[in-house]
């Protein structure tokens, strides 16, 4: 049988993922090397590293057997994968926020069913949130510093992730609503889970996360 292929997210939860995999006895030190490799083959396992948003795609389509990704990504993308375990690391919150000096106006606009503009990296999550309120919003998708949007008049509010709230405070943004929480999750390809159930179940059961947080 081919080596088990594990998708590891770069960025905020990278170290949390390595702690969990290393706790299960996987040879993760190779991933800490300062190089540009995307595939690492070592001791009967293959690691691939990618953007967090791509991890569920590799897993869903069978290019990786298992992966680690934030719950926020799963809720945004809705991939057809198996969610096997909540590692409890990389904790952060999805919030709706607006400039403090205009927070009251934005709250009132939403309460009175006015259409507000919201900037976000999570357009599907934003649409579901406003639909759940029975309200409409013009969703503007961005990929950089979301906090900038209301400061330059692009949007009235933002929907984004925060762990400590520091970035929001530094930009004088006030939380209007705490929408959901997110932590790192272990996911698996459905076919791989059937064919390699013992191997994957043993790996997941042996993971020992060392609680970390997202900045």
At residue 120, the pLDDT reads 98
Per-residue pLDDT of the chain (215 residues; tens, 9 = 90+): 799 999 999 998 999 999 999 999 999 999 988 778 899 999 889 999 999 999 999 999 999 999 999 999 999 999 999 999 999 999 999 999 999 999 999 999 999 999 999 999 999 999 999 999 999 999 999 999 999 999 999 999 999 999 999 999 999 999 999 999 999 999 999 999 999 999 999 999 999 755 433 33
Question: Does residue 212 lie in a domain region?
Answer: no
Report residue 37 CA to chain centroid gap. 23
Question: Does residue 55 lie in a domain region?
Answer: yes
Residue numbers of the domain that contains 62? 4-90+183-206
At residue 215, the pLDDT reads 34
Question: Does residue 213 lie in a domain region?
Answer: no
At residue 176, the pLDDT reads 97
At residue 209, the pLDDT reads 59
> Are both 187 and 171 inside the same structural domain?
no
Beta carbons within 8 Å of 146's beta carbon, 6+ residues apart? 119, 120, 121, 158, 160
- C-beta of residue 206 within 8 angstroms of C-beta of residue 23: yes
> Are both 141 and 114 inside the same structural domain?
yes
At residue 211, the pLDDT reads 42
* CATH number of the structural domain spanning residue 168: 3.40.190.10
> Are both 197 and 170 inside the same structural domain?
no
Beta carbons within 10 angstroms of residue 164's beta carbon: 11
> Are both 140 and 201 inside the same structural domain?
no
Question: Does residue 102 lie in a domain region?
Answer: yes
> Are both 102 and 140 inside the same structural domain?
yes
- C-beta of residue 193 within 8 angstroms of C-beta of residue 80: no
In 3D space, the residue among 54, 157, 59, 45 whose CA is nearest the CA of residue 100 turns out to be 157
Query: How many folded domains does the chain comprise?
Result: 2
> Are both 43 and 73 inside the same structural domain?
yes
Give the global pTM: 0.89
At residue 180, the pLDDT reads 96
């Amino acid at each position: 049988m081919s080596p088990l292929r594990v998708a590891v997210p770069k960025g905020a939860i990278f170290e949390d993922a390595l702690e969990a995999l290393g706790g299960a006895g996987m040879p993760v030190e190779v991933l800490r090397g300062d190089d540009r490799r995307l595939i690492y083959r070592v001791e009967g396992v293959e690691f691939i590293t990618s953007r967090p948003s791509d991890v569920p795609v590799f897993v869903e389509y069978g290019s990786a057997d298992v992966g680690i990704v934030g719950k926020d990504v799963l809720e945004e993308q809705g991939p057809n994968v198996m969610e096997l375990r909540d590692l409890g690391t990389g904790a952060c919150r999805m919030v709706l926020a607006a400039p403090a000096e205009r927070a009251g106006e934005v709250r009132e606009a939403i309460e009175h069913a006015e259409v507000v503009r919201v900037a976000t990296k999570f357009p599907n999550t934003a649409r579901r949130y406003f639909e759940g309120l029975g309200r409409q919003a013009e969703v503007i998708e961005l990929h950089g510093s979301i906090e900038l949007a209301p400061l330059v008049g692009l949007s009235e509010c933002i929907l984004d992730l925060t762990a400590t709230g520091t970035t929001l405070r530094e930009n004088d943004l006030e939380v209007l609503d705490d929408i959901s929480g997110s932590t790192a999750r272990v996911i698996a390809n459905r076919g791989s889970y059937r064919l390699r159930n013992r191997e994957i179940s043993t790996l997941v059961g042996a993971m020992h996360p060392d609680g970390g947080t997202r900045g």
